[in-house]
Amino acid sequence: MKIVALAFSPDRSRIAAVSSERRVMLISRDDLVVIPKALNGQDSILLSEGFQPNGVAFGPGDDELTLTSRSGIGILNPYDAKVTWVPPPTFRDQFMRLVVGPGDSATQLVATSLYGRVQVAKSGRGQEVAEPVVFSGSIGIPQFSRDGQRLLILSGGILNVYDSMRLIDVSPLYRPQEAAPEKFEEKHAPPWRPAPAWLADIASAVSALDTSGDGSLLTLDTVRERYPKSKAGDAYEAVWKRFFPDERSAH
């Protein structure tokens, strides 16, 4: 039997393994023996034909296993052997990957790599989704540090060819969110001053939405070229700098 993917459980007591015969099993770390009847009362679970995972991870829910393959992502429930498929948001996200950070399902972070961006959510149920992290290229591989405080993203334009790297501090996502002040809108975005058009274009670019309806998709490079004027002093200047951190405040 050939093992094609391995992953340690958060407590390091078990190892999830996937074989080339599409079987998923749990192995004891102490003696490296398959734990009997650990998955749906069986020693292993046979996956459906055509689904050959090349990656496995514990999470996002307690005792769940995330199975990654080139054909998609599935969440395996070990108690009933059912696989819940995670569909990509758009057709461009065919190389979607889901990576679970350390900790239990209530506190851990989950990073979902999509086309040109990584979405990070709190807990295994996708709560409190943070602002997407944009990376260079179209395909990204995220990986949390052992303490879950940082997120490393390897990215590039071709599968398995990565030439860029970003290291993101995600520790603020563990902190409880504070309620916005009552007059937040008056202070940061006066009602008499509408939001700039480039703000909506950035949202369209990072979400890969076809707002024009003609099949074309807006990119961040196009947004930068479309709005060359300096954003210094703008109420939403911080948003622009988040997506274009290397751009000077004045042109």
Do both 227 and 189 map to the same domain? yes
If one counts every other C-beta atom within 10 angstroms of the C-beta of residue 185, the result is 11
Domain ends where: 162, 178, 194? 178
Q: Please tell me the distance from the alpha carbon of residue 218 to that of residue 222, in angstroms, as a whole number.
A: 7
Q: Please tell me the distance from the alpha carbon of residue 160 to that of residue 137, in angstroms, as a whole number.
A: 12
Do both 201 and 156 map to the same domain? no
Q: Looking at the chain, which runs of residues are DSSP E strands?
A: 3-8, 14-19, 23-28, 44-46, 55-58, 65-69, 72-76, 83-86, 97-100, 109-114, 117-122, 133-134, 139-144, 150-156, 164-169
Domain ends where: 19, 54, 86? 86
Instruction: Give the pLDDT confidence of 126-161 residue by residue, as tens digits.
Output: 566 777 888 888 888 898 988 889 999 999 888 778
Do both 164 and 197 map to the same domain? no
Domain coverage including residue 220:
184-243
pTM above 0.75, yes or no: no
Q: Please tell me the distance from the alpha carbon of residue 132 to that of residue 234, in angstroms, as a whole number.
A: 21
How many domains, the chain?
3
Does residue 251 lie within any of the structural domains?
no
Do both 97 and 65 map to the same domain? no
Strand, coil or helix: what is 69? strand
Does residue 249 lie within any of the structural domains?
no
What's the mean pLDDT in 36-64? 87
Strands, sheet with 97-100, edge to edge from the N-terminal-most edge strand:
97-100, 109-114, 117-122, 133-134
Return the HEC string of 21-63.
Answer: CCEEEEEECCCCCECCCCECCECEEECCCCCCCCEEEECCCCC
What is the band of 213 on the pLDDT scale with cuts at 50, 70, 90? low
Instruction: Give the pLDDT confidence of 10-49 residue by residue, as tens digits.
Output: 888 899 999 999 999 999 988 889 999 988 889 999 998 8
Question: What was the pLDDT predicted at 94?
Answer: 80
Burial 128-150 (b: 16+ CB within 10 A, else e): eebebbbbebbbbbbebeeebbe
